[in-house]
Structure 1
Amino acid sequence: MGRAAAASDRFWRNVTLAPALALFVLLTALPLIELALLSFHDVDWAGGVSTWRSTGISHYVALAGDNLFRVSILNTLLFSAIAVTGEMVLGFFLALLTTSVGRGRTIYRTVFLLPILMPGIIIGAIWKLMYSFDFGVINEIVTLVGLTPRDWLGDSHFALASIIVVDIWHWTPFCFLLMLASLESLPDDVFEAAEIDGASYWQILRAITLPLMLPSILVTFVFRLILAFKVFDEVYLLTGGGPGTSTEVISFTIYRRFFTEDRVGYGAAMSVTTFVLIAILIVAVIALTRRRASTS
C-alpha cells in the first residue's frame, strides 16, 4: 500500500509540474535552439518570406577577427566589473545603515528604491540633461568649484565612466533591497551572544554578518552580473555606443548586427557566443566563492 501511495504521489507531482515544464521549454529552450540553428545560417527576405542559407561555422570564424566584437566584450567586462562592484558595496552599506535606523526606516527604504522604479527612457532623459556640456547641472557644479567643464558623454575618456555612474545610481536599489531582506532575516541571538562576549561592531560584521550573508551576496552578485552584461538602454539613450567605440557594449553590437545591418545569422552567432561567455563567467564566480567559503 505504501509503495502504491508513493507511486501515486510521484505521478501527480509530475502531472502538476508538466505545465510549468512545457511553458519553460516553449518560452526558453525552443528560442535558444532556434538561435543556435540560426547562427549557422544566413537569412534572406523576399516577398515577406525568409530563406535560410547554410553557412557552416563561418560566422563563428568571422567573430575571431571582428574588432568591434572584441572591443564590445572588453567594454562590457569593464562596465560589469566596476558597476556591479560599486552597486554591491553601496547596496550593502545602505542596507546596514537602514537596519541601524530606529525611526523613519520606511521613508529611507522608499527614497533608496526610487531610482529602480523609474522607466529607462526617463532615466536617460534626466541624465542626458545633467551631463549636458552647455547647461547640465554637473558642469555647473564643476564650474562652481573652479574646475573645467567636461563633455561627459562626448569625450571618449569619460563616456564609459559616465554610463557606469548612471548604472550604479539606477541599480544600487536592487542590491540594497536584496541585502536588506537578507540582513533582516539573520538570527538576533547570534549577534546578542557576540555582543555579550565583547565583540566590536567591525568584528561582528567581519566574522558573523558577512559569512551569514554570503549566499545572499552571491545570488545578488550573479543576478546583477547577468543584468549588467545585458545593458542596452543606458548606452542607447546616452551615447549610442560612441564616441567612437568607447561605450560599445555587446548588447548594442548585437543590436547593430540584427536590426541595422540585417545580418541575422551573424548576430545570432554573437548572441550564442555571449551566452556561453556569461555562463562560463557565472560558473567560475560561483565555484570560486564556494571554494573560498569552504576554505574559510
Structure 2
Amino acid sequence: MPSAPTSVQEVLLAEPRGFCAGVDRAIEIVERALEKFGRPIYVRHEIVHNTHVVNDLKARGAIFIEELDEVPPGATLVFSAHGVSQAIQREAQRRGFRIFDATCPLVSKVHVEVAKLHKEGYEFIMIGHKGHPEVEGTMGQLDSGIHLVEDVADVAKVQPAQTDKLAVVTQTTLSVDDAAEITAAVKARFPNIREPKQQDICYATQNRQDAVKLMSRQVDAVVVVGSPTSSNTNRLRELAERLGVPAFMVDDASELRDEWFAGRARVGVTAGASAPEDLVQGVVQRLKALGAVSVRSLDGIRETTKFPLPKGLKIE
C-alpha cells in the first residue's frame, strides 16, 4: 500500500479572489490624488485593510491618520473605503480640506438607506462588529436610533424606543451564514422589521465565501491571503475551518510554515478583497518550492463590476 504524500502536490486557486471593485476604486483615488496634487495626501484610516497596500501608498506619499487635527489646513484628504460618520464629514468640510470620498459605493448605499428611512421615523438594528470602521461610519450617519448586534445573544438585549418602524442593516463584509442566522433571530423577535430590498452584504464578500465553500470540499488545507485587520479575510478563514479544513491566514508568503502542509497533498489558496494578486502568486511560488507541480484555478463567477471615480480625479 503506497504511503501518504508528505508534501504539497497540487494548488487550487479560488475564483474569484482578491481585489474587488470598491478596493480597486479606493486605491486608485489615492494614486490619482497623489499624481494630481502631489505628496503628501492625507488618508483617514487605512484606505483598505491590507498592510502591503498601505505601506506601498505610504512610500508614494500618502499619510494615514485617524484624527482630523493631524491634517494641516488646505491639505487634500481622502476618506477610506469603509466610510465615515456625518460628524467627520462635517468637521472635514469645516476645516476646508480638499476632500475625496473613497467610501465603497455599496457601503454608501447602506448610508443612503439609513438616512432615507430615518426621515420616515425608523429606528435600526445593525448587524456588525463593534469597533470596525464601517460599522462606526454607518452608525455615525445618525445621532441615535441604531442598535448594534454582534451575535444572536445580542438580539434579546435590544431595546428600541418603538417597534412599529424598525429596519435591519448589515455590515457589508460579514459571514453570509452568520448574518442569516442573526437576521433570523432579529425577525423572530421583531416580525415586522423591514429588510433591505437587496442584502447589504456585498457581492464580492458573497462570491469569495461561495468560492471557499466550493474549494474546501476539494483540498486538505486552505491558505487565505490578507491582513488580520480585514473583516472579509477573517471570515474566509473561519468559513474554511467551519467546513472542517485547516485554514491559515497570512499577510504574504513569508508567513507560511512548512509544517502546516505535512501530509497535505492538495492546498487551496484564496485572498480577501483587499489583498493584491501578487501576494497570492508569492504564496503559490512558495507552495511550488514545497513540491507542488500543478496549479489550477477553479471555475467561479467572473466579476465585471467597476465603480466610477469621484469628480476631480477622472481622466480628462
Name the TM tier (shorter chain): under 0.3
Of the two, which has the highest radius of gyration?
1
With normalisation by structure 2, the TM-score equals 0.23
With normalisation by structure 1, the TM-score equals 0.24
Structure with the larger strand share: 2
Q: Name the structure where helix makes up a greater proportion of residues.
A: 1
